[in-house]
Structure 1
Amino acid sequence: MKVLALSSAGREPDFSRVYEHLGGQLDLDLKILDKEAQRDLRGTLRQVDLATYDRVLVDLHFKNIRRQTRFLRRIPGLLIYEEDACQNYLETSRWRGCFSRFYRALPNARIVVTGASVAERLTREGFNVHFIPKGYDPQVIFSEHLERDIELGFIGRTASAAYQERKRLLDRLAAEDALQLLRTPPGEPYRQMLNRIRYFVSADVGLNEYMAKNFEAMACGCVLLAWRQGREEPAIGLEDGVHLLLYSSVEELRGHLVRLRQDPELARTIAENGRHFTERHLSHLRLAEHLMKVLEEPWPSPEPLTPWREFWARLNPF
């Protein structure tokens, strides 16, 4: 199988390992595109014979490609990998409803999203959707057995409008429970900081999926205290009290902390179970294997444009 993959320059998290694994299993052409190239896919791919590829994997920033459906709908074997589709359903997100409108204009595309609940909702809307959880790169993120001198920590940003509920919860914990809110560059500094944290607080309130940082924290040996998502845990295979501890309120989180402080062996066991689970199931190798299965599935034949889709195409400038 011959596949063209389009990915973003400076992508975070780095997907190099995913494409390395895919390239070992199929004939892969990988093109890394900067912002300008993403915004003009027709021009960027002008010299590329797309008909020579069995699949085209688009792993690009939504904001840069969302107005290019007229060009994208003509690509056979189109697979869109999207890590931010949860924003389609967030009231605070500027992209609320935009992903649905984008996918509606691409009837022949298949879509991979990173939240089970998001996948279910998009499937109910009639889209061909697959769920693959986010993962982590084990060559960059791993346990170093450092001294864990930060008891309670979070690494990440909270400034986005989509993270308002996260920010409120983390700010409260920082003020009342000595949570340390941290920022680091990616790579080694990030890994080393994770290895200093004993209990990592995940505050993905209202997002209906697990962010990659949760699995990165587990891979580095932190005990993960995660906001209970409901549908996501069984879809991923995570077990409360085995791989992590779930909470739905600050009071429940504080109860977990009391137990962990009183029972260091419990904390050690959960941290080890979580680390082993991520290593077996959530590495970028596993993510690549799941993508491979989707790419190998039969693809629908291109559909003729209906009058409505012709009208929609005229509204798009590309």
Structure 2
Amino acid sequence: MKVLALSSARREPDISCVYEELGRSVDLDLKLLSKSDQRNLKQFFCGLDLARYDRVLIDLHFKNIANQAHVLRRIPGLLIYEEDACQNYLDNSRWKGRFSRFYRSLPNARVIVTGAGVAERLRAEGFSVYFIPKGYDPRMVCSEAVERDVELGFIGRTASAAYAGRKALLDQLVELEPLQLLRTEPGRPYWGMLNRIKFFISADVGLGEYMAKNFEAMASGCVLFAWRQGIEESAIGLRDGIDLVLYSDIEELRARLAALRNDPRQAISISYSGRRFVEEHLSHVRLARHMSDVINEPWPSFQPPSFWSMLRERLSPNVSRFR
């Protein structure tokens, strides 16, 4: 299976481990695109013989490709890997509904998303969608024998409108508990800080899926306190009180936190079990294997754009055509 994969140069989070592992099971041609290349895919594809590839995997920033469906819809074997499709259903996201409109313009494409609930909703709209949860890079993230001198910690962004619920909960918790809201550089500073945190407070309120930082915290040996996301826990296989601690409001969070403060052996047990779970199920190595399974599935025959759709493109002065 010959696969062309397009990803972002200096991608964050870094999933180079996924492509390294994917290259062991398929004949992979990985190309890292700059922002300007992503925004002009027509020009980028002009230098490629797409007939050489059985699949074309798109792992690019949605904001850079959202207006280029007219280019992508002419590519056979198209598979899109999207980590932000949850924003399709967030009321406070500028991208609400945009993912659905984009996929509707790509009737021949298949899509991998990172939320089970998101996958269900997109399938209900008629799209060919797979669910593979986010993961962590086992080459970088691990539990180290260092002092956990930060009892309660959170590392991440809160400024985006999509994270309004996260910010509100964390701001409230800061007033009640010794929570430290931390920012670090990517890479070693981030992994090092995770290893100093005893209880990692995740607050993905309203997002409907698990962000990668949850699994990175678990892999680093933190006890993860995570906002309940509905069907996500069962879809991933996470066990409340065994692999992590779930909560639905700040009162439940504080009550369960107090219980673990009084039972340090249970806290150690959850830390150990959570780390083992992500090591076995949620590393980037496993993500790559799931992606390989999707790539190697039988693909429907490619249906090129109809005459009428191509005519509409030609008549539109604002749409550039891919030749």
TM-score of the alignment, normalized to the shorter chain, above 0.5:
yes
Give the superposition deviation at 1:312.
7.0
The answer as to whether partners of 1:87 and 1:162 remain within 8 angstroms in 2 is yes
Per the TM alignment, residue 302 of structure 1 is displaced from its structure 2 partner at its CA by: 2.2
Q: CA deviation at 1:206?
A: 0.5
**In 2, distance between residues paired with 1:16 and 1:75?**
24
| Residue of structure 2 in register with 1:121 after alignment | 121
Does residue 246 (structure 1) correspond to residue 246 (structure 2)? The answer is: yes
| Displacement of 1:317 | 3.7
- Look up the equivalent residue of 2:113 and give its one-letter code: V
1:170 deviates by 0.6
- Identity among equivalent positions (%) equals 66
Q: Deviations over 1:262-287 (max 9, x none)?
A: 00000000000000000000000000
Query: For residues 63 and 32 of structure 2, what CA distance do their matches in structure 1 show?
Result: 17
Return 5+ residue gaps in structure 2 as ranges. none
Task: Measure how far apart 1:311 and its partner are.
Answer: 7.4
Q: 1:72 is matched with which residue? A: 72
Q: 2 CA distance for matches of 1:152 and 1:176?
A: 12
d(CA) in 2 for partners of 1:153 and 1:13? 20
Task: Say if 1:67 and 1:317, in contact at 8 Å, map to a contact too.
Answer: no
Which amino acid counterpart does residue 300 of structure 2 have in structure 1? P
Matching residue of 2:15: 15
In the TM superposition, residue 176 of structure 1 has moved relative to its aligned partner by 1.7
Distance in structure 2 (CA, Å) of the matches to 1:156 and 1:311: 47
Q: 1:256 to 1:94 in 2, by over 3 A?
A: same
Provide the residue aligned with 1:97 in structure 2.
97
- Which residue in 2 is equivalent to 1:273? 273
Q: Return the TM-score normalized by structure 1.
A: 0.97
Do structure 1's residue 150 and structure 2's residue 160 form an aligned pair? no
Q: Corresponding residue for 2:137?
A: 137
Match of 1:303 in 2: 303
Q: Report the CA distance between 1:24 and its aligned residue.
A: 1.3
* Counterpart residue number, 1:41: 41
The alignment status of 1:234 with 2:242, answered yes or no, reads no
Q: 2:73–2:305: 8 Å Cα contact kept in structure 1?
A: no
Any conservation in 2 of the 1:56–1:77 contact (CA below 8 Å)?
yes
* Residues 3, 26 of structure 1: 8 Å contact kept: yes
1:284 equivalent in structure 2: 284
CA distance in 1: counterparts of 2:319 and 2:295, whole angstroms: 28
Provide the secondary structure at the position in 1 that maps to 2:79.
Answer: strand
Q: Which amino acid is the alignment partner of residue 154 of structure 2?
A: F
Moved over 6 A (4+): none
Q: 1:303 to 1:173 in 2, by over 3 A?
A: same
The alignment partner of 1:198 has SS state of strand
Distance 2:146 2:309 in 1: 57
CA contact (8 A) 1:67 1:316 kept: no
Unaligned runs of 5+ in 1: none
Once the two structures are TM-superposed, the CA of residue 177 in structure 1 deviates from its matched residue by 1.2
Q: How does 1:141-290 map to 2 (within 5 A)?
A: 141-290=141-290
**Could you give the per-residue CA deviations for residues 202-261 of structure 1, whole angstroms, max 9, x where no partner exists?**
100000000000000000000000000111000000010110010001000001111110
Q: Tell me, in whole angstroms, the C-alpha distance in 2 between the residues paired with 1:312 and 1:94.
A: 27
Instruction: Supply the distance in 1 between the matched residues of 2:36 and 2:305 (Cα, whole angstroms).
Output: 29
- TM-score between both structures, scaled by the size of structure 2: 0.96
The one-letter code matched in structure 2 to 1:9 is A
Separation in 1 of the partners of 2:249 and 2:27?
A: 48
Deviation at 1:307, TM superposition (A): 7.5
1:309 and 1:261 map into 2 onto residues whose CA distance is 63
Secondary structure, counterpart of 2:48 in structure 1 = coil
Asked if 2 retains the 8 angstrom alpha-carbon contact of 1:18 and 1:284, the reply is yes
CA shift for structure 1 position 310: 4.8
Q: Which amino acid aligns with 2:233?
A: E
SS at match of 1:4: strand
| In 2: Cα distance, 1:74 partner to 1:91 partner | 32
Cα distance per residue 1:160-198 (max 9 Å; x no partner): 010001100011111221211000011110011000000
Q: Return the offset for 1:146.
A: 1.1
User: d(CA) in 1 for partners of 2:243 and 2:312?
Assistant: 47
Take 2:312 and 2:155, find their aligned partners in 1: how far apart are those partners? 42
Distance 2:162 2:48 in 1: 37
Query: For residue 107 of structure 2, what is the amino acid of its counterpart?
Result: P
Deviation at 1:89, TM superposition (A): 0.2
Task: Give me the CA root mean square deviation.
Answer: 1.3
